[in-house]
Amino acid sequence: KAGVTQTPRYLIKTRGQQVTLSCSPISGHRSVSWYQQTPGQGLQFLFEYFSETQRNKGNFPGRFSGRQFSNSRSEMNVSTLELGDSALYLCASSLDLAGGVNTGELFFGEGSRLTVL
């Protein structure tokens, strides 16, 4: 059974550019969430999607956005990149929601490492 796949694994951008990251969840998983990991702030929640709907959002500016497709694949976009956006972006998938809250086990991809110059 294939795990969570994230592309690209590494990318370098310059300030002001935009970037799109992709995440393919484990087959059958309908919930996808995104996290930003930096040495200074640790792991921080960005957003969570279920059945193409954003069901939760972290405290990030509007430059960070995401979406989920009907096949559960998800993308996140960061516009007008800043130096501080350099980070490892992690995607996680889980099987389903129980009672509207995701209480399932999360499985993470290898991440997309973004460097902003």
Partner 1 sequence: KQEVTQIPAALSVPEGENLVLNCSFTDSAIYNLQWFRQDPGKGLTSLLLIQSSQREQTSGRLNASLDKSSGRSTLYIAASQPGDSATYLCAVRDYNTDKLIFGTGTRLQVFP
User: Residues interacting with partner 1, by CB under 8 A?
Assistant: 4, 6, 33, 35, 42-45, 55-56, 58, 88, 90, 92, 101-111, 113
Can the peptide bond before residue 8 be classed as cis, meaning omega within 30 degrees of 0? yes
* Inter-residue contact 11 to 70 (CB < 8 Å): no
Closer CB to partner 1, 4 or 70, in the complex: 4
Q: If we measure between CA atoms, which residue out of 32, 45, 48 comes closest to residue 95?
A: 32
Closer CB to partner 1, 57 or 63, in the complex: 57
Count of residues making up the chain = 117
Q: How far is the CB of 80 from partner 1 (least distance, A)?
A: 25
For residue 83, give both structure tokens.
């130096």
- How far apart (Å, rounded) are the C-alpha atoms in residues 80 and 52? 25
- Cβ atoms within 10 Å of 37's Cβ, excluding its own: 14
Closer CB to partner 1, 10 or 62, in the complex: 10
Q: How far is the CB of 58 from partner 1 (least distance, A)?
A: 7
Q: How far is the CB of 102 from partner 1 (least distance, A)?
A: 7
Q: How far is the CB of 11 from partner 1 (least distance, A)?
A: 15
Closer CB to partner 1, 47 or 81, in the complex: 47
